[in-house]
Amino acid sequence: GAGVSQSPSNKVTEKGKDVELRCDPISGHTALYWYRQRLGQGLEFLIYFQGNSAPDKSGLPSDRFSAERTGESVSTLTIQRTQQEDSAVYLCASSARGRATEAFFGQGTRLTVV
Amino acid sequence: LAKTTQPISMDSYEGQEVNITCSHNNIATNDYITWYQQFPSQGPRFIIQGYKTKVTNEVASLFIPADRKSSTLSLPRVSLSDTAVYYCLVGDKNNAGNMLTFGGGTRLMVKP
């Protein structure tokens, strides 16, 4: 079907508020990744879901960050009590079983904390 | 964890061939070498992957020596639209997990 879809595309929030970012992976893709990219920087791994296995949360920068995934479908990344340093583009990617290194990325959510 | 090292930036001119080399001294037996391209305000896009020797597709060629400790992405006759950041990654395609690690990439600037 369609590619990886992320919403919203842009989000401006006040410091201290919670935000929820959504990712719809490609249908049938078992793996899902979240990354953070600050302006002019590379991608910073946040979390990885593979099927029904426990997620790899080793990249989450603090306990303000959490993510969930329903089966092999939609995922949400939640940032609580946002800080200005959370401002970045949040990218989601998915890949098919056996093709984990061929990830398809969404357009990202640009988060600005003011 | 197989770490990659690649130049921070490169400049080229339209019509030239561009070669970007990536070092991955600790590559594991099951690891594949994958290159992504990222344009401004977009997510990265897979462009090519290989295990050994040479791989070619409509976008690029990938050269991998026998020891697999490095690889070279070759872009033939670049145009202005090839200006982007290019990332080299190594990982097991059956279970990349958090091994799908993007470094800083190589920022390619193509000039007229």
Mean pLDDT across A63-69: 96
Total domains present in chain B:
1
**Nearest residue of chain A to residue B100 (CA atoms):** A101
Amino acid B41: pLDDT: 87
Domain holding B13, by residue range, is 9-111
Amino acid A106: pLDDT: 96
The CATH number of residue B75's host domain is: 2.60.40.10
Q: Which of A57, A60, A72 is nearest to A24 (CA)?
A: A72
Domain holding A67, by residue range, is 5-98+105-113
Which of A48 and B99 is assigned the larger pLDDT?
Answer: A48
Interface A-B, measured as beta-carbon pairs within 8 A, has a size of 71
Amino acid A54: pLDDT: 87
Amino acid B2: pLDDT: 57
Whether residue B4 is contained in a domain is answered as no
Whether residue B1 is contained in a domain is answered as no
- Taking contacts as CB-CB distances below 8 angstroms, the residues of chain A near B96 are 31, 95, 100-101, 103
**Nearest residue of chain A to residue B107 (CA atoms):** A40
List per-residue pLDDT tens for chain B, 112 residues long: 558 999 999 999 999 999 999 999 999 999 999 999 999 889 999 999 999 999 999 999 999 999 999 999 999 999 999 999 999 999 888 776 766 788 889 999 999 9
Residue B94 sits at the chain A interface (C-beta within 8 Å) = yes
Out of B42, B46, B103, whose CB is closest to A103? B46
Whether residue B28 is contained in a domain is answered as yes
Residue B102 sits at the chain A interface (C-beta within 8 Å) = yes
Whether residue B15 is contained in a domain is answered as yes
Residue B49 sits at the chain A interface (C-beta within 8 Å) = yes
Whether residue B27 is contained in a domain is answered as yes
Burial class of residue B80 in the structure, from the number of CB atoms within 10 Å of its CB (0-12 exposed, 13-18 middle, 19+ buried):
exposed
| Calpha distance A17→A14 (Å, rounded) | 6
What is the band of A84 on the pLDDT scale with cuts at 50, 70, 90?
Answer: very high
Amino acid A51: pLDDT: 84
Total domains present in chain A:
1
The CATH number of residue A73's host domain is: 2.60.40.10
Whether residue B2 is contained in a domain is answered as no
Which of A52 and A91 is assigned the larger pLDDT?
Answer: A91
Q: What is the mean pLDDT of chain A?
A: 93
Amino acid A63: pLDDT: 95
Tell me whether the omega of the peptide bond preceding residue A8 falls within 30 degrees of 0, making it cis.
yes
